[in-house]
Amino acid sequence: SAVISQKPSRDICQRGTSLTIQCQVDSQVTMMFWYRQQPGQSLTLIATANQGSEATYESGFVIDKFPISRPNLTFSTLTVSNMSPEDSSIYLCSVGGRAGAYEQYFGPGTRLTVT
């Protein structure tokens, strides 16, 4: 299994500003994922981040709002841009397990509140 850390663990931000969330993994991984979990809800996949290529965004999420970087095989960032209160959520990064196994390992999450 992989050990994943996220920074910051939580933040309170004003509307109109941007926040960059960092995700660090203790081993090299091919696929990294970013999810949003709104209060009391399930997870919604935002995008898949592969090293060396553009992130692949799910329906309803766009790069201008959620730009993602993946500079190497152990690190990724997600930026939440021009925030509004509707962006208040927990943001989770995850990584895939060994090839063909499909399990995921999650970071502890970043709890974002937009005022």
Partner 1 sequence: GNSVTQMEGPVTLSEEAFLTINCTYTATGYPSLFWYVQYPGEGLQLLLKATKADDKGSNKGFEATYRKETTSFHLEKGSVQVSDSAVYFCAPTTGNQFYFGTGTSLTVIP
Q: Which residues bind partner 1 (CB under 8 A)?
A: 1, 4, 31, 33, 41-43, 45, 48, 92, 94, 101-109
Give, in degrees to the nearest 5, the angle at Cα 104 between 30 and 42: 125
Radius of gyration from C-alpha coordinates of the chain: 13
- The answer to whether the Cα torsion of 56, 103, 51, 11 is positive or negative is positive
- In the complex, the smallest distance separating the C-beta of residue 74 from partner 1, rounded to whole angstroms, is 17
Looking at the Cβ atoms of 89 and 104, the one nearer to partner 1 is 104
Cα separation of 59 and 49, whole Å?
A: 15
- In the complex, the smallest distance separating the C-beta of residue 16 from partner 1, rounded to whole angstroms, is 28
Looking at the Cβ atoms of 42 and 115, the one nearer to partner 1 is 42
- In the complex, the smallest distance separating the C-beta of residue 82 from partner 1, rounded to whole angstroms, is 26
